[in-house]
Structure 1
Amino acid sequence: MGVKTVSNEFSSSIPPKWLFKALILESHNLLPKLAPQTIKRSRFKFVKYKIDEIDENNCTCRYSLIDGDMLGDKLETIKYEVKFEASGEGSVCKSSSHYHTKGDIELKDEDIQAGKDKALAAYKVVEDHLAANPSVCA
């Protein structure tokens, strides 16, 4: 089994605790309401996650995708690490994704980009919602 790691960083004008609450703790409630068309068409709706560690005080979470269509025939699991940190007037979201492949399959960057684009689109939808409705996850 091989492992491919991809790191990302996103800036936001939203405070880290709000983003953490919305994107980690309340995503199962918010995303179906904010982007129902994306959830219905997305492979994200057929997934099982396991929370490995969550720290609300430090706005960090480690979780694993353990089953679902997103894994396809190339991946055993995907492990995620997410941290929201204060930055100026807002925050920075730092994330790492560890793709554990089946056998000696080599994962291509374009295979990862589609999932990254969907995750970023969800992030932006939630961020825009929080900006327009600051009391939602305050």
Structure 2
Amino acid sequence: MGVVTHEYDTPADVPPTRLFKAMTLDFHNLFPKIVDSIHGVVFIEGSGGPGTIKKMTIIEGDKTKYVLHRVDAIDEAAYVYNFSIIGGTALADTLEKVSFESKLVEGSNGGSIRKVHVQFFTKGNATFSEEEVKANQAKVEGLVKLVEGYLLANPDY
């Protein structure tokens, strides 16, 4: 097994408290409402804390896929949320799992910065290219921007 590591920051124009609530605490309710491809998120095991496993169903075109999302650590006070994609039909065949360590920090003008450390664990001798790393980053940053847009349009959320 190999490990490919990548780090990046994503700025947002909403405070860490709001972004953390939306992307972490209410992920299972909010994302199916605002992300067209996400059909649903259900708890398979646990109730949201470390060890919880969520099944996220994704519809892309005429194909239904899913990923298993495990909560590894959560610290509401420090805005830390660590999770892993541990299985499912939407996880690339070459990957054992993908682990994300994320932390929100205060940004400029009342916004926030989402700092991410991601590790792609490959199966056997499989490789994970720089293009695949960048595509994953673009997807995650797109989700952050989608949530940011929702929060800016819904200040009472």
Aligned-residue CA RMSD in angstroms?
Answer: 1.9
Alignment of 1:85-124 (within 5 A): 85-88=105-108, 89-124=110-145
CA distance in 2, matches of 1:95, 1:118: 13
Q: Could you say what secondary structure the match of 2:156 adopts? A: coil
Among 63, 83, 93, the residue aligned to 1:63: 83
Unpaired runs of 5+ residues, structure 1, are none
Q: Number of residue pairs matched?
A: 135
* Structure having the larger proportion of residues in helix: 1
Q: Percent identity?
A: 36
Question: Whose relative contact order is higher, 1 or 2, with alpha carbons under 8 Å and at least 6 apart?
Answer: 1
Deviation track 1:40-79 (CA, whole Å, cap 9, x = no partner) reads: 3289950111111100011001111111123222111111
Unpaired runs of 5+ residues, structure 2, are 39-58
Task: Between 21-30 and 105-114, report the one with greater CA deviation.
Answer: 105-114
CA distance in 2, matches of 1:116, 1:44: 22
TM-score, length-normalised on structure 2?
A: 0.79
Deviation track 1:78-135 (CA, whole Å, cap 9, x = no partner) reads: 1110100012221111001100000122210112233322222221111001011122
User: CA separation of 1:16/1:94 partners in 2, compared to 1, >3 Å: closer, same or farther?
Assistant: same
* Structure having the larger proportion of residues in strand: 2
TM-score, length-normalised on structure 1?
A: 0.89
